[in-house]
Chains A and B, each alone.
Chain A
Amino acid sequence: MTTKIRIATTSLAGCFGCHMSLLDLDERLVALADIIEFDRSPLTDIEHCTNCDIGLIEGGVCNSENVHVLREFRKNCKILVAVGACAITGGLPAMRNFIPLEECLAEAYIDGIGVENAQIPSDPELPLLLDKVRPLHEVVKIDYFLPGCPPSADVFWTFLNDLIAGREPSLPYECVHYD
């Protein structure tokens, strides 16, 4: 039986930039791989998370599927972390919050330049959009926040090492950026 620390990751309304930044740990990932293993994550293709120690979530909440995934993470991760500007503030996807949803959809699927066979997608498989994009902490309890667009690899490194060592995580000044 493994005693490795289990980490799940996902991107909700995000761009995967935060995941790319996690991969920027480069050779430090090798050291990390001795003590952690990935559960549900775009890196593993595992579909659902179970009994994880840490959940890293990138992106805000923009549709019904995001809400379900976020709740699944909250239920199955001891420590849930909002990673990056979108997860913490809604970020750039939240800039649609100032435009009524109907107008957003019409602009993209009805009135947009070059649109053929104009119709609002309505396949029942598609998750419904929320009226506003929300940060994670407005939907579930979040334990830690890693700001940045994206947070640098050093932020992930500092945070994970603190957490794994049993220290209260803290980010020094040079690790705190919102851009």
Chain B
Amino acid sequence: MTKTIRIDGNTIPFEEGQTIIEAATAAGIYIPHLCHHPEFTPHGSCKLCTVNVNGRNCSACTFPAMEGQQVLNNSQELKADRQKITQMLFVEGNHFCPSCEKTGNCQLQAVAYHLNMLDSHFPHFYAQRELDASHAEVLIDHNRCIFCNLCVRASQEHDGKEVFAISGRGINKHLIVNSDSGLLKDTDLEASDLAAHICPTGAIIIKHTGYQVPIGERLYDQHQIDQVSLAAEQSK
């Protein structure tokens, strides 16, 4: 007999070993997320996929689905929590959407649109962050890094390299690259690596391509992230 969980009252089948977000995605239910990617080991850091399981909040991307779980996903409380989490991500970094070439294709921005986030609520940190433009084809703008670890995982698990890592703790946490000089140009990163393309924000971008698609005609200008995300992840 098929094992099931209930998400917002709907009965959803799951296979042994699946996380809640995997079961939900397979059933066509979107749970907002940024650090989760179906191809890579769950990281559980962005907390956007927070759901309520049997009365307790947990990350849907790391929590295993288990028979009979009662999961809340679309409650007003969770939506408010997710909006606050997104606002914290915005004020912690420096996300100046009008001057960012990732605008319209940015998952952080798209999640914020999806959550109807209209303001940043918290005081802005205006943290001092650096830019690494040393690589001929790939740029790192640390202002936009949300420490989702996707580039780290993509480099290790897909590209078979170890170009990126997260260093430091708490407010001093930052993205580093694997070279003696600390510069991206001295790593073995190539523009064709998945790690160079997987950034959900504009922290790692391919040079010379920024404005090929005009603002207003970009992915999330046309489609909501729930539809885009489900379509992409169900095909995997």
The answer on A and B forming one complex is yes
The chain A residues found within 8 Å of chain B, CB to CB, are 82, 85, 88-92, 94-95, 97-98, 132, 134-135, 137-138, 142, 144-147, 149, 170-171, 173, 176-179
Q: Number of B residues whose C-beta is below 8 Å from A?
A: 27
Check B97 against A149 for contact (C-beta < 8 Å): yes
Check A85 against B120 for contact (C-beta < 8 Å): no
Q: Is B171 located at the chain interface by the 8 A CB criterion? A: no
Check B119 against A147 for contact (C-beta < 8 Å): yes
Cα A170 to Cα B114 in complex, Å, equals: 13
Q: Which of B71-116 contact A (CB under 8 A)?
A: 90, 94-100, 103-104, 109, 112-114, 116
Cα A94 to Cα B103 in complex, Å, equals: 18
A119 to chain B, nearest CB (A): 28
- Selected interface stretch from B3-11, B15-23, B30-38, B121-129: B121-129
B210 to chain A, nearest CB (A): 13
Contacts of B98 in A (CB 8 A): 85, 91-92, 149, 178-179
Check A98 against B96 for contact (C-beta < 8 Å): no
Check B97 against A178 for contact (C-beta < 8 Å): yes
A4 to chain B, nearest CB (A): 27
A154 to chain B, nearest CB (A): 13
The chain B residues found within 8 Å of chain A, CB to CB, are 90, 94-100, 103-104, 109, 112-114, 116-121, 123-124, 126, 128, 215, 221, 224
Which A-B residue pairs are the 6 nearest by beta carbons? Answer: A178-B97, A149-B98, A145-B119, A179-B103, A145-B118, A97-B126
Contacts of B113 in A (CB 8 A): 173, 176-177
**Closest A residue, CB atoms, query B115:** A176
Check B116 against A95 for contact (C-beta < 8 Å): no
A148 to chain B, nearest CB (A): 9
Check A137 against B119 for contact (C-beta < 8 Å): yes
User: Of B96, B109, B114, B224, which one neighbours A91 at CB under 8 angstroms?
Assistant: B96
Cα A147 to Cα B118 in complex, Å, equals: 6
